[in-house]
Amino acid sequence: MNKLLIIEDDPGLQKQLKWALADDFKVHIASNRLEAVKKLKAHAPGVVTLDLGLPPDASGVTEGFETLKAIREMAPNAKIIMLTSNDDKENALRAIELGAYDYCQKPFDEDALKLIIQRAINLYELEEENRSLSRKNRVSLLDGVIATSTEMMDICNMVERVAPTDVTTLVLGESGTGKELIARALHHLSDRADEPFVAINCAAIPENLLESELFGYEKGAFTGASKQTIGKIEHANQGTLFLDEIGDLPQPLQAKLLRFLQERTVERLGGRKEIPVDIRVICATHQDLSRKMADGTFREDLYYRISEVVIDIPPLRQRPGDAVVIARVFLDRYAKKMKREVKGFTPEGLAAIESYAWPGNIRELENKIKRAVILEDGDMVSAKTLELEVGSAMAGFESVNLRQAKETLEKQLLSKVLTQFGGNISQAAEALGVSRPTLYTMMKKYGFDTG
Ligand SMILES: Nc1ncnc2c1ncn2[C@@H]1O[C@H](COP(=O)(O)OP(=O)(O)OP(=O)(O)O)[C@@H](O)[C@H]1O
Ligand SMILES: [Mg+2]
């Protein structure tokens, strides 16, 4: 039922109004400005009726106008209907100038008032629908990047600004946040878009092969070098080189890459020529490079070269609204692809998607949706099929307060991670994303053996 707030100080009129309107609307009542503000916040009604004569100025209009102003500021979309005395058309019109929707003169005709309220509600709903549609349409700024949160809109704006320049860009973010997607967007929006985009994963190639992969080699440079082969850097000439997982680049190659970034020439293994190469370099990593610099495993001078601009992609759990919007697009995509009849999510399914922490970010979301599209029997994907049932994660938590719940979870997680890494504190700390001292403190607190 549609919500209506009645602001009226006369108890008799309050009763009469409530009696007349309660059948058709969910009625809330406030007797003064303060109460009105509270109820407005608590119930967010679409329509408000406002008595112009409110205490402490019940026979005048100042408090009524102040209240009107307050509502307009708090709830600019709400429709306000003024209730005025019958000889006060002037103030009624002034109220409309100040943003009230309509007015009704006392003593009022119930049917006429109902009609005015109903019209106001219809208009309010129509406007709400338009607002939510235009919110939904804001789904994509960059090709392939689905987003609605201001956090990601900022990232997209940054990509648009940085793309046409040649600056060396470092893309940071947890695993699955879309680092490669953003790197490709940078390439596609640049003047190099028609030239190659060459990606190389520094973590996936064994150290002894990585150098020749990057720089190429001449025939006979080493055993098995049967013909001249050009490396990825040269392949990317005129285009973009994407160095993924740069945090895993072995130290000797860090020095060589630094030299390339300074000189912009490559020398193939076993070769003698310096070959000039014109490329834009984008690097990415999920690792904490400042920590790697602190422990001496990543060169600081290289870091400054590759991070002329840093794009730090927030994890999915820090992008309000994005998970649901992306989930909908994935659901449509996979339903079509796999010819399944699923049409959407159940309300619980949507709530679970929004509240889950998504440690594996968009990649995890994609996998869960794909799986659910295959497994769902009904036409709506449920939290159960997504394996995101609130009940299962929160079992036993109903009767504890937030602090107790937090401590229980911390303890469980600690125990799990310590077991997983065989008690190795450094690895456990890294997995939990906390410092070693913090982990120590937590272990002491929960009675784990700190050795
Ligand atoms: N905003 C987004 N909208 C739609 N799809 C996305 C979005 N972000 C990421 N994806 C998709 O999620 C998957 C993971 O993204 P990507 O490979 O770019 O992540 P990553 O940060 O490079 O992950 P990793 O660190 O594991 O390499 C890809 O299939 C990508 O297309
Ligand atoms: Mg990646």
> Does residue 363 have its Cβ closer than 6 Å to ligand 1?
yes
- Our mutation pick for probing the ligand 1 site, out of 139, 330, 363, counting the most ligand atoms within 8 A of Cβ, is 363
Q: Running along the chain, 451 residues long, what does each successive block of 10 average in pLDDT? A: 93 92 93 94 94 90 94 92 86 92 89 92 86 57 84 93 95 96 95 95 91 95 91 97 96 95 95 95 96 96 96 93 93 92 90 88 96 92 88 52 72 79 85 87 83 69
Q: What is the CATH number of domain 3-135?
A: 3.40.50.2300
CA–centroid distance, 176 to ligand 1, in Å, is: 5
Query: pTM here?
Result: 0.61
Q: Is 367 in the pocket of ligand 1 (CB under 6 A)?
A: no
Residues with CB under 5 A from ligand 2 (ion): 180
Q: Where in the chain is the domain with CATH 3.40.50.300?
A: 159-312
Query: What residue's CA is closest to ligand 1, atom 15?
Result: 178
Question: Tokens 């120590």 label which residue?
Answer: 440
pLDDT digits (tens, 9 = 90+) for 34-84: 999 999 989 999 999 999 999 898 888 999 999 999 999 889 899 999 998
- The fold of the 402-445 domain, in CATH, is Arc Repressor Mutant, subunit A (1.10.10)
pLDDT on residue 395: 46
Delimiting residues of CATH 1.10.10 domain(s) in the chain: 402-445
Q: Delimit the CATH 3.40.50.2300 region(s) of the chain.
A: 3-135
159-312 maps to which CATH number? 3.40.50.300
- Is 181 touching ligand 1 by the criterion CB < 6 Å? yes
Ligand 1 centroid to residue 101 C-alpha, Å: 47
Ligand 1 atom at minimal distance to the Cα of residue 146: 3
Closest CA relative to residue 181, chosen from 368, 306, 362: 362
The HSE-up count of residue 258 (CA atoms within 13 Å, CB side) is 15
What is the secondary structure of 180-226 as a DSSP string? Answer: HHHHHHHHHTSTTTTS-EEEEETTTS-HHHHHHHHHEE-TTSSTT--
Nearest to 435 by CA among 218, 320, 288, 216: 288
Which ligand is in closest contact with the Cα of 171? 1
> Which ligand is nearest to the Cα of residue 149, counting in written order?
1
Give me ligand 2 centre to Cα 178, in Å.
Answer: 7
pLDDT of residue 26: 94
Q: Give the pLDDT score at 200.
A: 96
Query: Terminus-to-terminus CA distance in the chain, angstroms?
Result: 62
* Choice from 139, 142, 170, 180 to test ligand 1 binding pocket (greatest atom count within 8 A of CB): 180
Q: Is the CB of 174 under 6 A from ligand 1?
A: no
| CATH number listed for the domain at residues 317-394 | 1.10.8.60
